[in-house]
Structure 1
Amino acid sequence: MKLKQLESMLGELQQFSNPKAELEQYPTGPHIASRMLYTAENSLGDVSNKIVADFGCGCGTLGAAASLMGAEQVIGIDIDSESLEIASLNAEDLELDINFIQCDIRNLAWRGPIVDTVVMNPPFGTRRTGADMEFLSAALKVYLDYLFILYPILEL
């Protein structure tokens, strides 16, 4: 799939109508999501025919991008049932087979190399200190090859 086509398809997805500040919900835009997954596949070959997990999937943009880029299986995980409803509708609209799980990432019981790739746009820890590290810790317990994270640049 071409990059422009991927971005265009992701641009049609529904996003949060009322993002929950306490969960640090912010949409992952089609521009950055398409480039993230396109690069992961075309530079590293780490999407097509891989098992990809989207931690804190929200409305499912990164998971949809992974599926459109040829992932063998995509698993979206989020604590918020309303986000998962939107993500499920988005997958249905694009005719994508994505599995969604409602789970607090801190309680995810997966261990070992369950997935090949983890993608995420996690909370940055601005509302609850350490939330970002909880996502990173969970990802490091289950991924096999690559971890792709959208995270703000920090000044040290």
Structure 2
Amino acid sequence: MIIALAVVCDHALIDQSGKLSVIGIFERIWVERFPAVHPRLHLVLRLKGRRTEIGDHPIVITLKDEAGREVLRGEGAVQIGEPPAGITEVEAGAVLAFDVPLEHPGLYTFDIVVDGKHQAAVPVTVSQMPAPAPQSPRSPLN
């Protein structure tokens, strides 16, 4: 199995036919102050493999900060179903939603392990919003 796509976005879904729709891909989160929680971040994966790889594939996802501290961890499995006759390549999508606690600014990374092998790293930079610029005083109207 390989990961053909791994992104972070605002929203994603997989329809009944298996079509993956992804909205609002991003790599940076702006925060007013720390600590903060970014609500409903979606991590989207598209896995591909050979016909011989049908079945369940264990997956482990961890989010770590720059110092390597684990912020989030999730474990599960992606199931690859049997494709129609004549199809040699299989694929499956996964959409995972997280409320992400952010203790400080910096680089955070989603590490994705499938079948015990590190397959992808998805970086997200977290920054503090700049202070608003001071407004100049208004002059009275005549």
TM-score of the aligned structures, taking structure 2 as reference length: 0.23
**Greater percentage in strand:** 2
Q: Which has the higher contact order (CA 8 A, sep 6+)?
A: 2
The higher radius of gyration belongs to 2
**Greater percentage in helix:** 1
TM-score of the aligned structures, taking structure 1 as reference length: 0.22
